[in-house]
Amino acid sequence: MTKTSQEMKELVEEFIKVTNIKYEDQTEKIKEKSQIIDWQFHVGSNVIVSKNANRSDRVHVNVNMRFPPQDVKLLVMKNISFSKAIMEISEICTICGVGHQWIKDSENIAGLAIFSHVDEESLDRVSFHNTWDNVARVSGHVQKILRSNFSGFSAQNKIDATVDKSMYG
């Protein structure tokens, strides 16, 4: 049976609540800026769970990593370590079936988003938490890749309970 956007939102909120991780319903705030998002939760310090208005069939789970200025200086294409990190990150994302997108601020790399989705037809607690865990696991691997390729890479992305903790405890 097809779920409405509101039904998906209510389900997802219940799935988030069981984790005891602080979250904020940002739907009203995001609607002031854009009509692209039906609803959105900001969970912990770096996880966004949302439903796009143009996709009635899925819920998106994103981990957004923002890099501090001292790390951004290292993330340039002419840096061989960055090229190597890009390849490793691309490989791990492909293997794990998640998407990734580098976030730019003018010409600089300001962050990285790791994302996946849960289809509306299979939106239940287990599939939602499995998707969350997969995105979180890949995000952790990505941070390890970045730190191993750049000595002194701070990765101040605050790996908090949203990434460090499995959805089941």
Q: Which domains, from first to last, does the chain contain?
A: 5-164 (3.30.1460.10)
pLDDT computed for residue 155 by the predictor:
54
Beta bridge partners of 43: 23, 47
- Would the pLDDT of 7 be above 90? yes
Q: Which amino acid is at 155?
A: A
Mean pLDDT (whole number) for 113-137 = 94
161 pLDDT band, cuts 50/70/90, is: very low
pLDDT computed for residue 165 by the predictor:
47
pTM, rounded to two decimals: 0.83
Q: Which amino acid is at 67?
A: F
- Taking residue 6's Cβ as centre, other Cβ atoms within 10 Å add up to 11
Dig out the tokens for 5 from the structure: 């956007």
166 pLDDT band, cuts 50/70/90, is: very low
Closest residue by Cα to residue 116 from 52, 58, 33: 58
Find the helix or strand (DSSP H, E) in which 71 lies: helix 69-72
- Would the pLDDT of 96 be above 60? yes
72 pLDDT band, cuts 50/70/90, is: confident
- Would the pLDDT of 159 be above 60? no
The residues, ordered by sequence, that sit 6+ positions from 153 with a Cβ below 8 Å of its Cβ are: 71, 74, 146, 147
- Would the pLDDT of 157 be above 80? no
